Amino acid sequence: MRTFRVAAGRFMPLSLSMLVGSTMLVGIGCNTPNPYVRQSQLRSRQLHEQNKLLAQERDNASQSASSLASDRQRLASDLDVATKRVNNLQSERSQLQQRYASLLNRAKNQSSPLSQDSTRRFEELARKYPGFEFDPNTGVSKFHSDILFGSGSATVKNSAGGALRDFTAILNRPDAQRLNILVVGHTDDQRISKSSTRAKHPTNLHLSTNRANSVVLTLAKMGLSESRMGSAGYGMHHPAVPNTDSKARQANRRVEIFVLAPDAIVAGWDPGTSRR
């Protein structure tokens, strides 16, 4: 066996020296991390963290989907309730319109409750104010909206004060004090286009009703008892003539005043009961 010299003049067998060297090399290799293994470990940790985030996002998305489904179900239920309420209101309005139409037709077809003296005075009023019409057979008075209101407005013009004041004076005479009136507003078939007007009167029904109410309140300020008056609005649904041109539409924009006998009942309004 071959030998070689080492420090301090000692000799070590070659095979033993090779074993020691091999052991040292192996030790050095084990203490130095393999770069591929380390990279793989880092990648694994990254994937693990990503998986955790994805799982959290999935859970959040699932909760959001569940919440949206609940909101959608609640909104569907609310919409169903609102639809039923609208249908009920439309049905009630239709019934009221039919009742008014029937009663107004009866009022148009019945004889005038006015005395001869009151009839004469209303005829004089019609001659004095061109925008006012009077039917002596039925006692129905008609104000064209153009003399009462500005376009799209429900505020009575100051210039209409004279006609309404004279109208009130006739109804407050002794021979007419027991009579009642129903004020009914009408419009043409043109939908409300101006946003400023639509903010106050969303539809023609609103505009016609608001105009009738304004006439009632104006007559009340002039001395006609509110207990003797009622109001209604038909919008464009009961035109006097077909809306074929501007002249016809002007005729349909009107406020009609029906003079009612003391015992007349309109849409459940009993004047005798209201006074009590």
* Confidence band of 81 (pLDDT split at 50, 70, 90): confident
- Tell me, what's the pLDDT at 161? 94
- Record the pTM: 0.59
Q: Rounded to whole angstroms, how far apart are CA atoms 255 and 174?
A: 25
C-alpha span between 12 and 3 (Å, rounded): 6
Helix (H, G, I), strand (E, B) or coil at 254: strand
Kindly list the domain boundaries of the chain, sorted by start residue.
Answer: 103-275
CB 11 within 8 A of CB 5: yes
And the tokens for 37? 């293994």
Beta bridge mates, 132? 143
**What would the pLDDT profile of 122-152 be if each residue is shown by its tens digit?**
999 999 998 899 999 888 899 998 899 998 9
> What's the CATH class of domain 103-275?
alpha beta
Structure-token pair, residue 112: 């005038």
Q: CB burial class (10 A; 0-12, 13-18, 19+) of residue 138?
A: middle
At residue 89, the pLDDT reads 67
